[in-house]
Amino acid sequence: MKQLDRRWKVLLVTAVAVFMAFLDVTIVNVAFPSIEKAFPETSVAGLSWVLNAYNIVFAALLVPAGRLADLLGRRRMFFVGMGLFLFASALCGLAPSAEFLIGARVIQAAGAALLVPTSLGLLLPEFPPERRATATALWGAVGGVAAATGPSLGGLLIEGANWRLVFFVNLVLGALALVPARRLLRETRDPDRGAVPDALGIVLLAGGVGLLSLAIVEAPDWGWGSARTIGAFAGAAVALALFGWRSATHAHPVLELSLFRVRSFAAACAGVGVFALGFYAVLLANILFLTSVWGYSILRAGFAVTPGPLMAAASSALAGRMIDRYGQRVSAVPGGLLFALGCLLFATGLGGEPAYLTEFLPSTILTGIGVGLSFAGWSSAAVAGLAPARFATGSAISACCRQLGAVLGISVLIAIIGAAPSLADFHRAYALMAVTGLTAATIGLTLRRVSATVPSWTSKSTPSTTPSPEPAPSAARP
């Protein structure tokens, strides 16, 4: 019983770190109007980099951060990431200009990139193989719940003080996790950890995603056929193509392409990326719709979206038990379908006059349940077919795909609705988000049940299982 209690304590501590990292993806969404007023000299497209700078750097550094933790020790790098994240959060809260804020968000994203893969790498050795699906599902769903909680928590903080408090709250959350973490977490390393990943590959990935986001965000102002827009798209294509080539040919690539031969892992990366595109767009769209079309205050808008994260938390707990028994498909497929249905109701049912109980609440409940089921399923699928030595790397790549989806989702939303969105603009945006849910559900159909068969390692020893690009034949059943 004592050992069981310890496992769940480790889950709680690592979940707080994941919660902070993903909370800061979306809590700034609700602060966006207040930040816009604080820095009126900066355009909406320019301020969107307060959101996208975090997402792009977070995505680009997740995989190398995971490999760095494998090399130097996951516990050690967990605390480095925590310190960096909290320091940057303080800088964000003190930012005197939009440029300073964007720069601090870059540093904050680097800390978050260390926290996510190290937290899962420290968590999974504590659980036996037959319980890892539940642990991974809950760990992964925490990110979805955190992202969905961001708007409501941010609205409360902004109403009580101002937008700077959305960054200072991290200092409180971090302090609550740091003390027990020093006592509970045990060091683990990968015995076949190799070298730090390709530095040029990191630059190419960040540059490619950044140029793609720049093109999508700025195209409405620049013109879709302008030289700058075409140049940004072309630069993104070249950078991402070179990144793919480096990943295929470099001795220590950022992205280990061999992992994609594991069916569950490949499906998880594709599914979570597509789903995240719609999910993060919905979170921002909901706040902007409520404040700009229905005229809600930031606090009222924050509370209006609260049922979503509540449903996500409840459904993720159920999803963990379902996945342990029946596999990831039974969670990922209905999750995508429910999310799509909620978005479709947003697209067809929202009117210009406030009607929260009949028009908004049913849709946000459906999307919230879909979020909890989907992220639990995809997080579990990402590591279910991998050897223990690749848990941190696999989760990092999956989280990278998730953040790339977030970048594109926010960029596409900004491009669709513009600076002065109309009701019709929001309807078009929600319809596109419904398509992402349907697509994710379709990808989920390719999942088969995968059970962990490799033994867990003791927390004070290093894992003895070497990485394998394919799960053992007994690890998967149709």
Determine which of 78-87, 177-186, 288-297 has the lowest per-residue pLDDT on average.
177-186
**3-class state of residue 476 by DSSP:** strand
Whether residue 273 is contained in a domain is answered as yes
Specify whether the backbone of 128 is left (phi greater than 0), alpha (psi in -120 to 50) or beta. Answer: beta
Residues, the chain:
478
Q: Are residues 389 and 309 in the same domain?
A: yes
Whether residue 478 is contained in a domain is answered as no
pLDDT for 473: 31
Count H helices, E strands: the chain? Answer: 15, 2
Q: Are residues 209 and 331 in the same domain?
A: no
Q: Are residues 234 and 361 in the same domain?
A: no
Q: pLDDT tens for residues 264-296?
A: 899 999 999 999 999 989 988 998 899 889 999
Range of the domain at 146: 2-186+254-464
Query: What is the pLDDT averaged over residues 214-230?
Result: 80
Q: Are residues 264 and 242 in the same domain?
A: no
pTM as predicted: 0.76
pLDDT for 190: 65
d(CA 380, CA 136) in angstroms, rounded, equals 5
Number of Cβ atoms within 10 Å of the Cβ of 141: 30
pLDDT for 191: 61
Q: pLDDT tens for residues 32-69?
A: 778 888 888 877 777 878 887 887 788 778 777 877 78
DSSP string, 274-336: HHHHHHHHHHHHHHHHHHHTS---HHHHHHHTTHHHHHHHHHHHHHHHHHHHH-THHHHHHHH
Identify whether the C-beta of residue 66 lies closer than 8 Å to the C-beta of residue 186: no
Residue 359 reports pLDDT greater than 90: yes
Which of residues 403 and 35 earns the better pLDDT score? 35
Q: Are residues 406 and 263 in the same domain?
A: yes
CATH code where residue 300 lies = 1.20.1250.20
pLDDT for 464: 35
Number of domains comprising the chain: 2
- pLDDT category at 472 given cuts 50, 70, 90 is very low
Residue 460 reports pLDDT greater than 60: no
Whether residue 405 is contained in a domain is answered as yes
Q: Are residues 233 and 280 in the same domain?
A: no
Q: Are residues 227 and 108 in the same domain?
A: no
Whether residue 473 is contained in a domain is answered as no
Report the amino acid identity of residue 299: L
Residue 263 reports pLDDT greater than 60: yes
Whether residue 471 is contained in a domain is answered as no
Q: Are residues 219 and 203 in the same domain?
A: yes
Q: pLDDT tens for residues 296-335?
A: 987 788 889 889 888 888 888 788 778 877 888 999 999 9
Residue 475 reports pLDDT greater than 70: no
Q: Are residues 229 and 338 in the same domain?
A: no
Residue 255 reports pLDDT greater than 60: yes
Residue 103 reports pLDDT greater than 90: yes
Number of Cβ atoms within 10 Å of the Cβ of 203: 16
User: Closest Cα partner for 382 from 69, 128, 124, 197?
Assistant: 124
Identify whether the C-beta of residue 367 lies closer than 8 Å to the C-beta of residue 308: yes
Q: Are residues 293 and 357 in the same domain?
A: yes
Q: Are residues 367 and 420 in the same domain?
A: yes
Q: Which of 206, 233, 253 is the last residue of a domain?
A: 253
